[in-house]
Amino acid sequence: MKSIVFMGTPDFSVPSLSALHAAGWPVELVVTQPDRRRGRGRKSAPPPVKAEALRLGLSVFQPTSLKRPETVRRIAAAAPDVVVVVAFGQLLPKAVLDIPRLGAVNVHASLLPKYRGAAPIHWAVVNREPETGVTTMLMDEGLDTGPILLADSTAIADTDTAGTLHDRLSAMGADLIVRTLEGLAAGKLVPAAQNDAEACDAPMLAKEDGRIVWQKSPDDLDAFVRAMDPWPGAFTRLDGKRLRVFRVAPAHRTEDRQPGTVIAGFQDELRVCAGGGAVSILEIQGDSGKRMSIADFLRGHPVPPGKRFS
Q: What is the pLDDT of residue 238?
A: 95
- Homologous superfamily (CATH) for 4-198: Formyl transferase, N-terminal domain (3.40.50.170)
Q: What is the pLDDT of residue 251?
A: 87
Question: The pTM is what?
Answer: 0.96
Strand order in the sheet with 60-61: 60-61, 27-31, 4-8, 82-86, 104-108, 131-138, 148-155
Separation CA 286–CA 280 (nearest Å): 16
Domain ranges of the chain: 4-198, 207-300
Name 30's bridge partners: 6, 60
Domain 207-300: CATH class, spelled out: alpha beta
Question: Tens-digit pLDDT profile for the chain (310 aa)?
Answer: 899 999 999 999 999 999 999 999 999 999 999 999 877 777 889 999 999 999 999 999 999 999 999 999 999 999 999 999 999 999 999 999 999 999 999 999 999 999 999 999 999 999 999 999 999 999 999 999 999 999 999 999 999 999 999 999 999 999 999 999 999 999 999 999 999 999 999 999 999 999 999 999 999 999 999 999 999 999 999 999 999 999 999 987 777 789 999 999 889 999 999 998 999 999 999 877 899 999 999 999 999 999 999 9
Q: Which of 11, 37, 23 is closest to 231 using CA atoms?
A: 11
Q: What is the pLDDT of residue 252?
A: 72
156-195 exposure pattern, b = at least 16 Cβ within 10 A, e = fewer? beeebbbebbbebbbebbbebbbebbeebeeeebeeeebe
Q: Which helix (H) or strand (E) holds 33?
A: none
Tell me the CA distances in angstroms from 77 to 29, 71, 72, 110, one per residue in order.
10, 10, 9, 32
Q: Check if 4-198 and 207-300 are the same fold.
A: no
Please state the φ and ψ torsions of residue 243, each to the nearest 5 degrees.
-125, 130
Separation CA 88–CA 62 (nearest Å): 11
